[in-house]
Amino acid sequence: MADNNAEVNLEQQGAPDNAAAAEIEALRARVAEAEARANQERENLLRAIAEQDNIRKRAARDMEQAQRFALERFAQELLAVADSLEMAAATAGNADAASLAAGQEATLRLLKSTFQKFAINQIDPLGEPFDPERHDAMAMQPSDTAEPNSVLQVVQRGYELNGRLLRPARVIVARAPDAS
């Protein structure tokens, strides 16, 4: 009977050891699973970082290309204007004044058409109030007919590109007539 008690005690002691061993195995499995997930997440993170770096490099390369070739379309359009001017210069000795004037007008129309295609707008502020942001005053001149501080005469037209000032219009501004 004493031997039976010893066997029962051993079986009772073995049972907790089996439960502890099973729990340890379950924990080991969970740790292995967590390590596998962590490794997968690390790989995902590294892929995302590499993809972000590739996107950044591609964007930088695209920006460089865009800057390098941004004026290409504009330059191609200006070639027609240059061709027209070269033809005029080549035939200037043999042409009469009327055909030269017609050629100049055609070239000017071509240039204005190119400007219009690329949103380059002319600033011709005659009669408008003087705006120091868009106009460069060359002089002030007394005038009986124009409002004081308005543009009396345009010396050189200004230009805007998509609403951004390229060159201010050079103007003469009216002032009140001198009191005599």
Q: Tell me which amino acid residue 112 is.
A: K
75/63 same-domain check: no
Using an 8 Å Cβ cutoff, are 92 and 100 in contact?
yes
26/41 same-domain check: yes
Cβ atoms within 10 A of the Cβ of 151, count? 22
Using an 8 Å Cβ cutoff, are 107 and 84 in contact?
yes
Residue 176: which domain range? 119-180
> What's the total number of domains in the chain?
3
78/62 same-domain check: no
Over its length of 180 residues, how does the chain's per-residue pLDDT go in tens digits? 555 554 444 445 545 688 889 999 999 999 999 999 999 999 999 999 999 999 999 999 999 888 888 788 888 888 989 998 888 888 878 888 888 888 889 999 999 999 999 899 999 999 999 999 999 999 999 999 999 999 999 999 999 999 899 999 999 999 988 876
Residue for token pair 């390590």 = 35
